[in-house]
A and B are shown apart, each in its own frame.
Chain A
Amino acid sequence: MKNKVKNLLWPLAFGIALILAWQFGVFHKILDLKPFQLPVPTEIASTLAANLPKALKDCGVTISGALIGMIIGSFMGFMIAAMATFFPKWGYGGMIVVTALNAVPIVALSPIMNLWFSTGMAQKIAVVTVVCMAAMAINAYSGLNNLNPYSIDLMHSVAANKWTIFRKLRLPNSLPHIFTASKINIASSIIAAIISEYFAASTSGLGFGIKDNLRKAEMAMGWSYIVVASLAGVILYCIILLVERDALKWHASQK
């Protein structure tokens, strides 16, 4: 218990030191910036406090788009991995396509999705879906196929069919990999949602708030959106960690 507190105390102290240095102009000195170029934390905080209802609403728009896209993308990615596992001959083609899609940068993807979908939410979900598909497909595929030696033999020895092997062996074996993919995807889904909002046909969301305010020289407001985006990312990541800890009690990494 004592160790846990210690582990938490150091990063916390470091974070507070950083914020204090920021507040008292250390970064401004180093980078030769004026306060109107880089607002100080107290100004960001008071701006955020004054704008909280709108910021939370925008946060809700971005996060809901990110989560829906992540769920759809992860599901599709998993299905592609499952197909490649069940039907290795032709199913692996899906893996190749999704890996290639993974190489398309989000900034290129956004305008394309804007042409395909007309509302900001649909554009956002589409971008996030594509981004999340690959990480899930690649990780799930390795989880479904990197089995301990003999574990498939054990299944065969009692005449288990393909479906039983999938359900009782491949699926649980892939669980840690699915969590790995989810941890990657939670960060990238928020990034993708925000970048999509830079281009989207909508005026809500954290991405629009960041871009629009920074363009209009509303630096403190822009930064307050950045802070909200970061906090949302951290909170969602922690939720995934907690779920993982609960779901993977059996895994050596959770000792």
Chain B
Amino acid sequence: MKKSKLTSVLAVIMLILLVATGCSSGTSATSTPGAGTSGAEKNASGKLDKVTLQLKWLPQSQFMGYYVAKAKGYYKDEGIDLEILPGGSDIIPEQQVYNGVADIGVTWVSSLMKYQSQGWGLVQVGQIFQKSAMLLVSKTSAGINSAADLKGKKVGSWFGGNEYEIYALLEANGLKKDTDLKLVQQDYTMNQLLNNEIDAASAMTYNEYGLLLESGLKDSDLHVINMNDAGVAMLEDCLFVNSDWIAKNQDLYVRFLKASIKGWAEACADPEAAGKVVFDADQSVSLSHQVYMAKEVAKLVVPKDFDPANIGYIDMDAIKQTADLAHKYGLLTKPAVISEDTVTSKYWKEATAK
């Protein structure tokens, strides 16, 4: 009996450990030496300041501005040695930045708001994507011509915070997410849609939609619901930092932002070349897909009638819409607190001042 008791205790511990490691928890905090708040333009000793940037996802043209700026030496010009950390399905930028694994992070605004509302000391300091790239894509054969047609269908989402635009879309069209249709977890390929296992799939304009085209489907084979058109867009890729870190590294961040804006402007002006730069840095996907993505991302960073000089601009109306939708559809239990402590244009103004 004694032995089996021990086995049972071990089994339980194993279970807990395995379950708990399903989420990656960060390592302990480390302090990063920065340039300080003295306002010194460059490091006096001539040595570069180390900065790490945590991406939301794998190295790809979604982040081309940073890759172009790095390749062209714009960070070096600002006295920065930038290290880019790739993301992944188990890497949560908010946790990485909070724990000090990275100094600056790229994440979606709604996700950042969630962490902020839970008490994590993080602050948004730039907005790269001005538009939402989220689509709901279906084959025309499924007959989903408008959001209302989603009734009774099987709809894919990546969840983990990516589901709220869909919730908003459904509610705006009078559909109940739990009863009127079936939401399923989608993997990071588009196979479920291609194999007709689901009727509509989440897709980013710059990535998954391109995968569908590469698989041989044409624009005319697909029907798309665009969150911007549906009025339920939530902001995506933004820049954020740990509040404690920025207090000590204001100047360093401004220099980082300056170089990044330069990189983004150049990338958006010539996405083809930017795609090549990203491909050279990381060949995880094909060159043609990187170039496709670069072209689509450029449309999000510098939309029509948007001055490229304003890259990184934080549109407070869009922020409010994101916050309102996040609260209304249940991501946030109480309204987001929008203040200088949670989202600030201070550094962007400094970086873009002539």
Contacts and interface: CB of A to CB of B under 8 A. Distances in A.
Report if A and B touch in the complex (beta carbons < 8 A).
yes
Interface residues of B, number: 41
Given A203-B159, A230-B15, A214 B22 contact: yes
Given A191-B18, A201-B197, A202-B185, 15 more contacts: A34-B120, A111-B187, A114-B187, A118-B192, A183-B11, A187-B14, A194-B22, A198-B22, A201-B198, A208-B159, A212-B159, A214-B22, A216-B160, A217-B118, A237-B8
Given A217-B118, A230-B16, A237-B12, A208 B4 contact: no
A215 B9 CA distance: 28
Interface of chain A, main secondary structure: helix
Contact of A230 (B7, B12, B28): B12
Contacts of B114: 216-217
A118 to B, nearest CB: 4
Contacts of A194: 18-19, 22
Nearest to A254: B1
6 contacts: A32-B29, A186-B11, A187-B15, A211-B23, A216-B160, A217-B120
Given A32-B29, A118-B197, A216-B331, A201 B115 contact: no
Contact of B184 (A111, A186, A201, A210): A201
A222 interface: yes
Given A36-B120, A222-B23, A233 B185 contact: no
Interface string A178-220: 0000010011001100110011111100011011101111110
Nearest to A31: B28
A115 interface: yes
Nearest to A200: B185
B161 interface: yes
Given A36-B119, A201-B198, A217-B118, A210 B19 contact: yes
Contact of B185 (A111, A208, A216, A237): A208
B28 A32 contact: yes
B136 to A, nearest CB: 16
